[in-house]
Amino acid sequence: MSPPKVTKDLQEFFYGAAESPTVKPVAVGGVWYPSLYSVESDSNKKVILHFHGGAYVLGGARQSECGFGADILVKTHSAMVFCPQYRLACYDNGQFPAALQDALISYKYLLDQGIPASRIVVSGDSAGGNLALALLRYLSDQNDSHQLPLPSAVLLWGPWLDLSVDPESIDRNKNSATDYITSSLARWGVESFVPLSMSSSHPYISPARNVFSTNCPIFIQVGGGEILHDEIVTFADKMKESRGNRIELHDTPFAPHDILLCGELLGWEKEAEQAAQASRVFLESQGI
């Protein structure tokens, strides 16, 4: 399924952080789970806009790559899930803000289907969690003339929050023996994604260094055995301190990075399902 082409009317939504002299918006594809959205039969269902992980250089929206997590979200939330095939940074025209442009197009696509923002939940695992936060920040930073509504909530699964960290520190991390993330993958992702003209600590690239206030409730899952554990917990604590924020942290004991993506491969299916159930309870507590 392809979101709309970038028309003149749609172009007006790309400004500020989403604007670039070299990286231009394009139409991107996506996959609906469990089936194509139907206005007639699905108009009362929650819709989850989910961004896959992969350090901005790997992964995709198709069943073979994203299906395990998407299926869990469908089942747990009784929802429709739309996974965009956003541009990867290892290809031409894929550096920042390409993924943010694709996320914005995908969100606008859902709104154009007649799906109200009150029924849309934005979700992302690992780098997809980074992208979900970038989209939320962008929607929060909009000026009044181009206002798009905020989604009802955001779900983050082992989000990659600080791209300014030296990749070599991964090998020295206390959880390096219980996780699968490598310094070479992190370096590839950062060097591919971050333009030379930008700092890797930019608010839209490293949200861990740039917390913000939002009216949108946020659920964050982290694995107790993952390399990003302390970084994610610190971010959650700082976000909780920001006035008005509603943050829920779900810490999965001993789990490696991103069990929503890799739980099936690594034997953490049960824990991934439990984390998804915790996210459902959180949304219900927020009236969503």
Show which residues are catalytic. Answer: 126
In the block, tokens 């007006």 appear at: 12
74: its two tokens: 């469908």
Phi and psi at 153, nearest 5°, equal -170, 170
The per-residue b/e assignment along 195-228, b for 16 or more CB within 10 angstroms, e otherwise, is: beeeebebbbbbbbbbbeebebbbbbbbbebbbb
Q: What are phi and psi of 48, to 5 degrees?
A: -105, 120
Give phi and psi for 278, each to the nearest 5: -65, -35
233 neighbors 223 (Cβ within 8 angstroms): no
Range 141-161 burial, b when 16+ CB lie within 10 A, else e: eeeeeeeeebbbbbbbbbbbb
Q: How many CB atoms lie within 10 A of CB 281?
A: 14
Q: Which of 263, 220, 185, 4 minimizes the C-alpha distance to 109? A: 4
| Burial 239-256, CB ≥16 within 10 A → b, else e | beeeeebbbbbbebeebb
Length of the chain, in residues: 288
